[in-house]
Amino acid sequence: MFDPDSQQLAIGVVGAGLMGRGIAQIAAQAGIDVQLFDTRAGAADEAVAAITATFDTLRAKGRLDAAARDGAVAHLHAATALADLAGAALVIEAIVERLDAKRALFRDLEGVVTDDCVLATNTSSLSVTAIASACRLPGRVGGFHFFSPVPLMKVVEVIDSAVGDTRVGDALTGLARRLGHRPVRASDTPGFVVNHAGRGLLTEGLRVLGEGIAQPADVDRILRGAGFRMGPFELMDMIGLDVSHPVMESIHDQYYQEPRYRPSPITRQRLAGGLLGRKSGRGFYTYTDGKADMPPAAPLPALTSTPLWVDGADPARRSALLARLAPGVVLDEGAQPGPESACVVFPVGGDATGAALDAGLDPYRTLAVDPLFMEGHLTLMTTPVTAPGFRDAVWAALGHGGAAVSVIHDSAGFVAQRVVAMVVNIGCDIAQQRIATPADIDAAVTLGLGYPLGPLALGDRLGAATVLAILDGLHAFYRDPRYRPSPWLVRRARLGVSLLTPES
C-alpha cells in the first residue's frame, strides 16, 4: 500500500479532461510526481501545457512563488502510453462515466502496474464494487470522487467497495489531506454522499412546481431567502438537465424506486425538448450571453385600510410578523377576527386551508405566513378560496413594510419547510444507513453542494422535533411514503438530542 506522505510518491492519472487535469494539478502542487495519460493522441501534452499555464497565472497573481511554480511543473509529465504508468503507486482514472470503459481500463492497468499499486476511480455515480469486481485483484480498487473544478472544490469522497481492502481507503484518505482536500469516507451506495444528499432540494422543488404551487423564479427566491446559495431551478440550469435528470433517474432506480428519490416528468419532458439550461440558452430560464433573464417579482399591491388579525397562539411569531408590517396598517386586536379583517395564521407542516378550518376562521379571508423562515424572504400562502382583496391587503402590508414577499398557492409545508425537511430527512437516512459519519455527511454537503449548513446541522437549527412535525404533516396530507421520517430523525427528536449525535 502506498504511503500518502512519501516524498517519492508517484501516481498516474488517466483521462486528460477537466477532472483529470484538476487532479493532476493539485497532485503536482503537493509535490507528487504525476504521469498524465489519455487515449487521444496529443491530449496529455495539451493538458500539461494548460496546467502549466495555470501555474503561471497563479504565479503572476502571487498565489504561487517561483520555486513552488517550478517544482509543480517539474512534477508533471505527459505519458505517451499506458505502460509509462508502470512505476506508479496509485493510478486514478477520470475517464468517461461508463462501467464497461472503466472495467476495461482497470483490466489493462493490471497488466502494467505492480500488484501493490492502488487503482482509484473518480466515478460519480457508478458502483465502485462493480468496477472492482472485474479486476484480478479487486481489493486494491477504491473510489476517489472529486468535484469540479477540482482545485476549488475542497472535498473528495473516499469510497470503500464491498470487496475492497480498508487500507486502500485509509491511504486515499491520507492522500486527500495532503492534496488540501477534506476527505469524506463513505460506503459504496448509489450517489455516495453528495449526490445522494442533493436529491431533496431538486426533487422536492420539482414537486412544488408540478403541483402548481409556485413558479421556478419564486421557488428559487424563497430558497435563497432560506439560506441556499441557489434554488433548485437555477441549479439544474447551471448543471444541465442532460446531467441532472439521468442522475435523478439513476439514483431512483438503484434504490429500487425509493419514493424519496422519485424524479419528475417535468425534467424528462424538458430534456426531450432540448431545454438543458445555460448550455443550450434556455432551460427553466432563458439566457442572454450566459446570464439568466430572471422574471421580475410581481408588483406590490397598494396599501389598503383592511384590518389585519394575526393569530396569537404563538406570541413570538406574532410579534415577529407585526415588526415587518408597513406603518399605519390597521390591526384587529380581538381574540377572534372581526367580519372585515384579513386573517393570518402560522402553520408548521400544514397548509392554509387546514390552519383556517382548525382555527374556525373564514378561509375566504385567511392567509398563512411561513413562521420558520421570517428573517429574510417571507412566503405568503393563500387557501384555494382566499379572496384577492384580502390577499392583496396582507401582501401590501408586509411588502410595504420592507419585506420581500412571494405569494404561493396552498401547500402543506409551504416551500422552504418541505424542501428543508426533505434535505434533512435524506441526510438523516444516509446516517441511518451508516453510509458515512454524521460529521462527514455535513462536511460533504456544505463543501460539495454549498448549502448554508449540512443537513444534520440544518435540522438542528430548526429543531429535530420541528422537522419531524413537518414530515408528519406532509405524510398525513399526501399519504405518500416519500415523506416518511427516517428512524435516525425520529429517535433523536424523541430523545431531544442533536441530529449529529452518532451511535454510541
Catalytic positions are: 124, 145, 157, 195
Cβ atoms of 122 and 23 within 8 Å: the answer is yes
The C-alpha cell that represents 296 in the structure block: 421580475
The C-alpha atoms of residue 234 and residue 162 are separated, in whole angstroms, by: 36
Cβ atoms of 176 and 183 within 8 Å: the answer is yes
The C-alpha cell that represents 252 in the structure block: 431512483
Region of 344 on the Ramachandran plot (φ > 0 left; ψ -120 to 50 alpha; else beta)? beta
Return phi, psi of residue 357, to 5°. Answer: -70, -40
368: which residues sit within 8 A by CB, 6+ positions away?
344, 345, 346, 347, 351, 352, 355, 380, 381, 414
SS3 of residue 474 by DSSP: helix
Region of 9 on the Ramachandran plot (φ > 0 left; ψ -120 to 50 alpha; else beta)? beta
- What is the spatial order of strands in the sheet that 378-382 belongs to? 308-310, 342-345, 366-369, 378-382, 405-408
Strand 291-292 relative to strand 287-288: parallel, antiparallel, unpaired?
antiparallel
Residue 371: asked if its preceding bond is cis (omega within 30°), the reply is no
User: What is the rounded radius of gyration, in angstroms, for the C-alpha atoms of the chain?
Assistant: 26
- What does each C-alpha distance from 111 to 33, 82, 94, 114, 137 come to in angstroms? 21, 10, 19, 8, 11
Cβ atoms of 367 and 390 within 8 Å: the answer is yes
